[in-house]
């Protein structure tokens, strides 16, 4: 049974590691060696990493990869991706290459509105509250002038403040529903600072008029249905093979596969998880908050009352079209963007995009990922390509030598990869 500890955060890094090694692991020296292996040899850089969060022991590495050949609105991008799943980058690259000769990806920003709320309880007359909020609304803007000044200079700021009656779901519950434009910043700190000032103003003004209300909390929302981007691909359908067409049979099966994900939640969850493979990988690479993005995207997938596909497909007038509309609240300034060297490099690889451009790039990565998955599902099946990407991981787990790896990669070019078949193939080589 592990021990409790007082003042852990106040210990030095070495003291933290020593405590963990001796109280939470069976081999303290091995634990210390493992943690030290992943430290950066540049002490200043390691110090920067250590200060990102509290109680840091070491760095956790994930592969930093790129998927090239994305033609987006007539401009070619190489997209950085951070992810541990072996088939994701290969699938994205394959989809990018497929659409490179078919017009590429087209994107449109549908909105950039972000949301925050002040949640409060009021049991008095609704009309009295409505009049009160209407009267003090100018003071909300006045109270946040110091916070919003620089953002307004750049064209952003608070875009609206409205009272929402939520008493149908919870007795006495109202909220100030506030919307913001944060430009290239993700804007979490900006929004929360504004909201806390709104709450302060609300309480002060209510006290002056003896209006009874209780502010419960003030916080941004990660559900941003109006911070929306659309990405799509399309090409003609033909019965003949050609670089600028897809077959009628393929298009029909593809559209049907999307329709299934629209109507069946069990399928929709896996379908959308595949989209998020691409989106999360770019969000991580660019230092954005993938948990916030995930939460908002999945809420959007259920916005009509049933969890459904984020992507859509149709055949109309001889044209196959596949598209996604997805909420993405992203930033290219602030946070880790100026601190983490690999985040700065990722943004440089993307040609230093604005937040709007990053929204479009990220949506395209998700659409490409979904296209690659569905293309496999309706043709060869998912396992053929997926398991081949896992082959090297399996061989490493089995302790295969470099020569054995080369032989088995060649051996499985025309064979089905599975845990059993890889183990059998390795044993066969070793017997020979």
Q: Which residues have a catalytic role annotated?
A: 85, 273, 289, 386
Distance between CA atoms of 351 and 361, rounded to whole angstroms? 11
Is the sign of the CA dihedral 191, 197, 203, 205 positive or negative? negative
Distance between CA atoms of 377 and 261, rounded to whole angstroms? 13
Residue 134: strand, helix, or coil: helix
Q: Cβ–Cβ contacts within 10 Å for residue 324, how many?
A: 23
Q: What angle do CA 239, 245, 249 make, to 5 degrees?
A: 45
Residue 427: strand, helix, or coil: helix
Q: Cβ–Cβ contacts within 10 Å for residue 198, how many?
A: 26
Residue 257: strand, helix, or coil: helix
Query: Any bridge partners for residue 234, and if so which?
Result: 321
Pairing state between β 173-181 and 157-165: antiparallel
Residue 140: strand, helix, or coil: helix
Distance between CA atoms of 147 and 420, rounded to whole angstroms? 61
Distance between CA atoms of 170 and 174, rounded to whole angstroms? 9
Distance between CA atoms of 58 and 319, rounded to whole angstroms? 52
Take residue 164 and report the two structure tokens written for it.
Answer: 């929402």
């Amino acid at each position: 049974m592990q021990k409790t500890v007082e003042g852990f955060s106040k210990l030095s890094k070495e003291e933290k590691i020593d405590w963990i090694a001796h109280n939470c692991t069976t081999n303290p020296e091995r634990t210390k060696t493992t943690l030290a292996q992943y430290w950066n040899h540049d002490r200043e850089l390691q110090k920067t990493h250590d200060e990102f969060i509290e109680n840091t022991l070491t760095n956790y590495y994930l592969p930093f990869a790129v998927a090239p050949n994305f033609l987006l609105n007539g401009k070619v991008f190489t997209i950085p991706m951070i992810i541990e799943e072996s088939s994701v980058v290969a699938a994205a690259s394959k989809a990018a290459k497929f659409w490179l000769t078919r017009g590429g990806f087209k994107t449109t920003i549908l909105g950039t509105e972000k949301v925050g709320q002040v949640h409060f309880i009021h049991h008095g007359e609704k009309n009295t509250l409505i009049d009160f909020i209407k009267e003090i609304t100018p003071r909300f803007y006045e109270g946040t002038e110091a916070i919003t000044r620089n953002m307004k200079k750049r064209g952003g700021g608070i875009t609206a403040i409205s009272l929402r009656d939520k008493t149908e779901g919870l007795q006495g519950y109202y909220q100030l529903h506030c919307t913001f434009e944060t430009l290239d910043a993700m804007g979490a700190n900006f929004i929360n600072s504004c909201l806390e000032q709104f709450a302060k103003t609300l309480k002060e003004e209510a006290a002056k008029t003896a209006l009874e209300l209780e502010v419960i909390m003030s916080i941004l929302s990660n559900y941003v249905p109006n911070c929306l981007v659309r990405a799509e691909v399309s090409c003609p359908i033909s019965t003949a093979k050609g670089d600028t067409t897809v077959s009628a049979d393929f298009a029909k099966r593809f559209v049907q596969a999307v329709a299934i994900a629209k109507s069946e939640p069990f399928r929709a969850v896996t379908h959308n998880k595949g989209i998020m493979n691409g989106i999360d990988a770019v969000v991580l690479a660019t230092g954005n908050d993938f948990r916030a993005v995930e939460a908002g995207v999945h809420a959007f997938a259920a916005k009509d009352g049933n969890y459904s596909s984020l992507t859509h497909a149709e055949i109309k007038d001889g044209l196959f079209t596949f598209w996604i509309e997805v909420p993405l609240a992203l930033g290219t300034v602030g946070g880790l963007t100026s601190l983490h060297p690999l985040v700065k490099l990722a943004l440089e690889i993307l040609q230093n995009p604005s937040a709007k451009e990053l929204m479009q790039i990220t949506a395209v990565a998700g659409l490409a990922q979904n296209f690659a998955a569905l293309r496999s599902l309706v043709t060869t099946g998912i396992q053929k390509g997926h398991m081949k990407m896992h082959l090297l991981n399996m061989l490493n787990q089995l302790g295969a030598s470099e020569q054995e790896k080369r032989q088995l990669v060649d051996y499985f070019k025309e064979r089905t990869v599975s845990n059993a078949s890889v183990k059998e193939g390795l044993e066969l080589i070793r017997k020979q």
